[in-house]
Amino acid sequence: MAKPALTSEMKKGSAELLILALLEDGQRHGYEIAQQIERRSRGAISFHVASLYPMLYRLEARGLIEGRWVEKAGQRRRRYYRLTAEGAEVLAAQRSLWQEFFTGINRVARLRPT
Amino acid sequence: MTTPDWRALVRGALNQITNDPAHDEDIVEELSQHLAQRFEDYLGQGYARDHALELAVAELREEPALAQSIRESARPKPQALEPPPLGGLPSMWNDFVQDLRYGTRVLMRSRGFALAAILTLSIGIGATTAIFSVVNGVLLRPVPFEDVDRLAMVWETDRNTGTNREPASLPDFMDMKERSRQFAGFAAFAPIERTLTPIDGEPTRLPVVVATHELLPLLGIRPSQGRTFTADEDKPGGPELALISDRLWERQFQRAPDIVGRTIRLNDIETTIIGVVSAESDFGAMQILRSAAYGRGFADRDLRSRVDVWVPLRGDPQVLVRDTHPLFVLGRLADGATFASGQNELTRIMADLEAAYPSNVARGAFVEPISDVIFSRVRGTLWVLLAAVGFVLLIACANVANLLLARGTSRLREVAVRTAMGAPLRRLVRQFAAENLVLTAVSTVMGVAIAVVALRMLVGFAPADIPRITETRIDVLVLGVATGLAILTGLVFGMVPAIQARRVDLQGALKADDSRGATAGRERHLLRSTLVISEVALAVVLLVGAGLLVKSAWRLAQVDTGFRAENVVKAEFQLPASRYRNSSEQWPNFVSVHRFNDDLLNRIAGTPGVSAAAIVGNHPVDPGSQNSWRVVGREAEGQNWPEVSIRRVSASYFTTVQLDVRSGRAFEDRDGPSDPAVSIINETLARRFFDAREPIGQQIRLWGTARTIVGVVKDERINGLSREAPPAIYLPYRQAPSFNGAEALLVRTTAPTSTVGPSLRAAVRQIDPQLAVFGVKPLAEAVGESIAQQRFVMLLLIAFAGVAVILAAIGIHGILSYTVAQRRHELGIRVALGATPERVTGLVLGQGAKLTAAGLAIGVVAALALTRVLSSQLYGVSATDLTAFAAVLPVLGAVGLLATWLPARRAVRLDPLDAMRD
């Protein structure tokens, strides 16, 4: 039987966590974020332009991430995002929340942790 | 490998995002970078180019309202719940408003285009509205007479002189009234002037209509106060009564409510006011009077006269005998009668009169519909002007259409992207419509402003004898029509890109350069070329018309008037009978009149700057009256001779106006009232009636006296510049003073003519403080007024032609710029392959030349067919005059060249590598 695709609701719910987590390591630009999500989830989760950027702007408006234009030598300027202090706090909170949620689901539906 | 234009794609998909264009740009940049990288990745993974493109583009489509969600994400979360969007009217309105706002922003981005389109359209709308308002106000508006289509002018004709618009005699009028069955009624009037002496203030000279009691009822004019004259009051010896106009009531009496019964002083006689009529009641009077061969009275003195007083004729057939013709007769057709049947009957009646009375020899009748009399002089002119301005409007619309087409092409990409994004055609059409609506709305507002100003200028410069010209207003109907046309143009040509978008493929549209060789492009190009060629053709027609009128005006200016009007000032007055007794037995020994004149001339001669002065019965541009005459010894021959113009002049006249005396002598002081009667004739009279014979020494019998011819003078164009000088006899003023005391003073002065007026009035006032002096103006101005209408039309047509040429030039320039941009790739290759700048320029110029030549050819053919419409305005020039046509060629050629030059330069400056890379 074919695997059902991840629904948009599920993606929306986890987007915040994924983005904030990726920025923990350092600043990245939008495409990089999308690429990393795809790669690390081994294709299970992918964000398109139309869903990624609104999310990024929303996070930026809430002050959880900070975006700025950076011009590297010989390249066009690109917009890089980094985690703010507040963002780090929210990330930590989200992590524990999802951990709890996942543990609860696991107990009921018997998922196997990867 | 051409890179797709991601930014355009994103922009197209997102529309307007935030209110900050800079912020929008950032977002567009970020997203397009993402897409570009995605695209590269796909290529790197081995996807085919098309597939990769599709996939990348598809990413944008995931989120249905991307712009909306971005916008929301930038805003802090709202506290209250937002109401869900409703269908129906409120959201339709919101969409409409948003479309309008979007349209405005788009237009602001392409300021050059918007400016050109708005300017063009508003000029077109404004000019058309102004002219049509005049046409409507003058011609099309209903006339203040009742049932004007049943009203006729009844002229008398003279077979001997060939004139067919002469006033009638009183006995003839009475006979017509009695004998006619085809006419339900007749009325008659004549123009006179009276001095109005107000209780306080300067006496003024008023044009007055003296009329039979039937006149106002015949016309259907009812007084707003009081009543009209009764038949009894219209009899000889009747009371001194008057009807006054609204205007006079306001000016002299401040609309006093007890006006009926009050009196005014006309020529020193107390006259009782019996009623007030509306200011429009003199409608057509000027035009009727000016159509007549003579007897025009105040219509010749001042073109802008308005009649403010009507008095009863009280005609006495013993005084106004059958061979005096002062009356202008109107008739109202009886039920069932036609103009033809009326004409036949009156011809018969006049024939009967001719058989019965020797004074009616060769006299007939001519029945003319009154609207022809009033409007025929201006009808032609106004329709010509309307057609001309219609051309200008067409050119303006064509130009705007061209601009829109060009713009449509450059926005094709945007349209294609949005269609690919899933935007329904309906929405695109709506948005384009909104854009064009904004354009049209702004143009209309500006157009109205232009129309208001233009109308004011038109009315100010218009010849005064255009009926009702001062009462024209901006016509809402016309504005609506002109605007409708503009909207239609905008919609039709603005929609073209939206409609053609369906046929364009996404790939082709996304490439940075445009549909190379796409059939849609060729069609559009053909359409645009056609538009430009028609613009040029229309401009040619207008130019030819203007050229013909200019030549005509030049010819008129060359006309030798005979007299020299420069530095001469005229002033007019009428010596009233109450103070200057002038009974017919004493004529020509009007002692008080001569004393006044001598006194006045002496005083004027003493004024500094005056080199000569004269007293005349009629100034040189006043045609005056005509009379029958005989040469003593050739009376029988003279039976069939026409009447000639009589000029009564003081001795100093010839030096004052510098009229050349060809042979013999001028008048001198020794030609007084009791001296031998003398006369002078002009060259035309000498040529026509004396032929080879020597006129000097011959005698002319005029007004019962034999007058010896003592000189022959050069012809004067007393009937206006455009009419040949009539045969004329000059009499010394002292031997032939005016019967009614009307005189003119002519002064040649070295001082500026505008300062002489006060000194003239002062001199007159010193002798007779109660005398009203009027018509004080430089003689040259009076001369100018005789060609005012031709000059008016010429100036307007020049203006229209100028505008048309500029618009056509813009059109040529536009299409060539576009073509150069289109052919960048091809031109780049040519240059890279070794084409010289001259060749490249040649290519562009060649295209420009082809367009211009085609337009010229069509325009010339059209002009040949159309300019005959102008014939009535032309003097000394035929409607197919070759020089006018020939002059247009270099003008338009130069303009075409100039318009082509800029795009050609741009073509030459192309960097071939840059061009080819596209």
Scored b (16 or more CB within 10 A) or e, B826-848 reads ebbebbeeebeeeebbebbbebb
For residue B187, pLDDT over 90 is answered with yes
Which whole number is the average pLDDT over B351-361? 92
Chain A residues whose CB is inside 8 A of the B66 CB are: 50, 54
HSE at residue B791, side-chain half, CA atoms within 13 A, is: 15
For residue B541, pLDDT over 70 is answered with yes
Q: Taking a C-beta distance cutoff of 8 angstroms, is the pair B129, B448 a contact?
A: yes
For residue B701, pLDDT over 70 is answered with yes
Q: What pLDDT is stored for residue B422 in this prediction? A: 65
Residue B287 CA to residue B589 CA, distance in Å, equals 37
Number of Cβ within 10 Å of residue A9's Cβ equals: 8
Which whole number is the average pLDDT over B696-714? 92
Residue that is written with structure tokens 């939008």 in the block = A30
Please tell me which residue of chain A has the smallest CA distance to B71. Answer: A54
Chain B residues whose CB is inside 8 A of the A51 CB are: 62-63
HSE at residue B250, side-chain half, CA atoms within 13 A, is: 6
What tens digit of pLDDT does each residue of B54-68 get? Answer: 888 887 765 556 677
Q: Mean pLDDT for chain B?
A: 83
Dig out the tokens for B516 from the structure. Answer: 């190379």
For residue B179, pLDDT over 90 is answered with yes
For residue B867, pLDDT over 90 is answered with no
HSE at residue B643, side-chain half, CA atoms within 13 A, is: 21
- Residues of chain B with pLDDT > 70: what percent? 90
Q: What pLDDT is stored for residue B507 in this prediction? A: 54
Task: Look up residue B363 and give its amino acid.
Answer: R
DSSP B293: S
How far apart are the CA of B11 and the nearest CA of chain A, in angstroms?
Answer: 13
Task: Label residue A112 by pLDDT band (50, 70, 90).
Answer: low
Number of Cβ within 10 Å of residue A24's Cβ equals: 13
Identify which of B26, B59, B76 has the shortest CB distance to residue A48: B59
Residue that is written with structure tokens 């001719």 in the block = B354
Q: What pLDDT is stored for residue B106 in this prediction? A: 77
- Residue B421 or residue B542, greater confidence: B542
Which whole number is the average pLDDT over B731-755? 86
Q: Taking a C-beta distance cutoff of 8 angstroms, is the pair B533, B848 a contact?
A: no
Residue B614 CA to residue B744 CA, distance in Å, equals 8
| Chain A contact residues (CB < 8 Å to B) | 29-31, 34, 48-55, 57-58, 61, 69, 76-79
What tens digit of pLDDT does each residue of B430-476 get? Answer: 777 888 888 888 988 898 899 999 888 888 888 777 888 877 888 78
Closest CA to B390 of B809, B803, B870: B803
* Overall residue count recorded for chain A in this entry: 114
What tens digit of pLDDT does each residue of B757-807 get? Answer: 888 888 888 898 888 887 788 888 888 877 777 788 888 888 888 888 888
Whole-model pTM? 0.65
Q: What pLDDT is stored for residue A2 in this prediction? A: 45
Q: Inspect the interface and report whether the beta carbons of A61 and B31 lie closer than 8 Å.
A: no
For residue B516, pLDDT over 50 is answered with no
Q: List the single best residue of A37, A49, A53, A79 to mutate versus B (max B Cβ within 10 A).
A: A49
Task: Label residue B84 by pLDDT band (50, 70, 90).
Answer: very low
Chain A residues whose CB is inside 8 A of the B26 CB are: 69, 79
φ/ψ of B368, rounded to 5, equals -130, 130
For residue B512, pLDDT over 80 is answered with no
- Residue B558 or residue B313, greater confidence: B313
Chain B residues whose CB is inside 8 A of the A30 CB are: 30, 33-34
Which whole number is the average pLDDT over B218-226? 91
Chain A residues whose CB is inside 8 A of the B75 CB are: 61
Residue B557 CA to residue B554 CA, distance in Å, equals 5
Task: Label residue B76 by pLDDT band (50, 70, 90).
Answer: very low
A33-42, B637-646, B837-846, range with greatest mean pLDDT: A33-42
Full 3-state SS string of B429-489: HHHHHHHHHHHHHHHHHHHHHHHHHHHHHHHHHCCCCCCCHHHCCCCHHHHHHHHHHHHHH
A16-20, B79-83, B576-580, range with greatest mean pLDDT: A16-20
The dihedral over CA atoms of B540, B543, B544, B547, expressed in degrees to the nearest 10, equals -160
Q: What pLDDT is stored for residue B88 in this prediction? A: 53
What tens digit of pLDDT does each residue of B805-829 get? Answer: 888 887 788 777 777 776 777 777 7
Q: What pLDDT is stored for residue B781 in this prediction? A: 84
What tens digit of pLDDT does each residue of A11-40 get? Answer: 667 888 899 999 998 899 999 999 998 888
For residue B858, pLDDT over 70 is answered with yes
For residue B722, pLDDT over 90 is answered with no
- Residue B477 or residue B361, greater confidence: B361
ipTM: 0.84
For residue B111, pLDDT over 80 is answered with no
Contacts of B121 (CB under 8 A, 6+ apart): B396, B397, B400, B439, B440, B443, B447, B486
Angle between helices B476-501 and B111-135 (to 10 degrees): 150
How far apart are the CA of B82 and the nearest CA of chain A, in angstroms?
Answer: 18
Q: List the single best residue of B7, B34, B57 to mutate versus A (max A Cβ within 10 A).
A: B34
Residue B22 CA to residue B43 CA, distance in Å, equals 32
* B639 at interface of A, judged by CB pairs closer than 8 A: no
Chain B residues whose CB is inside 8 A of the A49 CB are: 31, 34-35, 38, 59-60, 62
For residue B7, pLDDT over 70 is answered with yes
- Residue B832 or residue B30, greater confidence: B30
Residue B685 CA to residue B644 CA, distance in Å, equals 8
Q: What pLDDT is stored for residue B156 in this prediction? A: 95
Residue B712 CA to residue B728 CA, distance in Å, equals 10
Dig out the tokens for A6 from the structure. Answer: 């991840």
For residue B570, pLDDT over 50 is answered with yes
* B45 at interface of A, judged by CB pairs closer than 8 A: no
Q: What pLDDT is stored for residue B502 in this prediction? A: 60
Q: Inspect the interface and report whether the beta carbons of A31 and B66 lie closer than 8 Å.
A: no
For residue B890, pLDDT over 80 is answered with yes
Strand bridging mode B328-333 / B705-713: unpaired
